[in-house]
Amino acid sequence: MERRKFIRNTGLLTAAALFEAPMNQLFAMAPAKVLNLGIIGTGDRGTGMMSIVRTMKDRFAIKAVCDIFDFRLAAARKISPAATSYNDYRKLLEDKTIDAVVIATPLNLHYNIAVDALEAGKHVYLEKTMTFDIPQALKLVKQAARYPRQIVQVGHQYRYSPLYFKVKEMIDKGYLGKVSQIDCHWDRNWDWRRAVPQGLNDRQINWRLYREFSGGLPAELLSHQIDFINWAFNTHPDQVLATGGVDVYKDGRETFDNVQALLRYKQTGMVGNFGATCGNARDGYIFKIKGTKGMISLLVNEGVFYPEPDTRKELQVVDGVSGATKIEWKKDGGIAVLPEKTKDGTYYAFEDFYRAVTEQKQPSSNVHTGATTAVCVHMINQAAFKGTVENWKPQYHV
Spatial separation of the C-alpha atoms in residues 131 and 89, rounded to whole Å: 18
Helix (H) or strand (E) segment spanning residue 230: helix 223-233
Q: Radius of gyration over alpha carbons of the chain, in Å?
A: 22
The per-residue pLDDT for 1 is 45
Q: Where in the chain are all domains bearing CATH 3.30.360.10?
A: 162-342+366-396
Q: Where in the chain are all domains bearing CATH 3.40.50.720?
A: 35-158
Residue 22 has pLDDT above 60, yes or no: no
Spatial separation of the C-alpha atoms in residues 265 and 272, rounded to whole Å: 8
Residue 62 has pLDDT above 80, yes or no: yes
Query: 31-40, 46-55, 322-331, 336-345 — which is least confidently predicted?
Result: 322-331
> pTM of the full predicted structure?
0.92
64 beta partners: 38, 84
Arithmetic mean of pLDDT over the chain: 92
Closest to 50 (Cα-Cα) out of 22, 75, 33: 75
Spatial separation of the C-alpha atoms in residues 130 and 107, rounded to whole Å: 8
Find the mean pLDDT for residues 113-138: 98
Structure confidence by residue, pLDDT tens digits, 242-284: 999 999 999 999 999 999 999 999 999 999 999 999 999 999 9
Structure confidence by residue, pLDDT tens digits, 331-371: 999 999 999 999 999 999 999 999 999 999 999 999 999 99
Spatial separation of the C-alpha atoms in residues 261 and 8, rounded to whole Å: 42
Residue 149 has pLDDT above 50, yes or no: yes
DSSP 74-120: HHHHHH-TTSEEESSHHHHHT-TT--EEEE-S-GGGHHHHHHHHHHT
Q: How confident is the model at residue 16 (pLDDT cuts 50, 70, 90)?
A: low
Query: 2-11, 131-140, 191-200 — which is least confidently predicted?
Result: 2-11
Closest to 231 (Cα-Cα) out of 127, 342, 347, 370: 370
Is domain 35-158 annotated with CATH 3.30.1330.10?
no
Q: How confident is the model at residue 327 (pLDDT cuts 50, 70, 90)?
A: confident
Find the mean pLDDT for residues 221-248: 98
Determine the residue type at 232. Answer: A
Spatial separation of the C-alpha atoms in residues 222 and 31, rounded to whole Å: 34
Spatial separation of the C-alpha atoms in residues 47 and 218, rounded to whole Å: 22
Query: 30-39, 40-49, 106-115 — which is least confidently predicted?
Result: 30-39
The per-residue pLDDT for 137 is 98
Query: 7-11, 31-35, 40-44, 300-304 — which is least confidently predicted?
Result: 7-11
Query: 20-24, 105-109, 168-172, 337-341 — which is least confidently predicted?
Result: 20-24
Spatial separation of the C-alpha atoms in residues 45 and 208, rounded to whole Å: 13
Closest to 261 (Cα-Cα) out of 225, 312, 290: 225
Query: 7-11, 89-93, 253-257 — which is least confidently predicted?
Result: 7-11
Residue 31 has pLDDT above 70, yes or no: no
Q: How confident is the model at residue 24 (pLDDT cuts 50, 70, 90)?
A: very low
Spatial separation of the C-alpha atoms in residues 39 and 29, rounded to whole Å: 24
Find the mean pLDDT for residues 89-102: 98
In CATH terms, the superfamily for domain 162-342+366-396 is Dihydrodipicolinate Reductase; domain 2 (3.30.360.10)
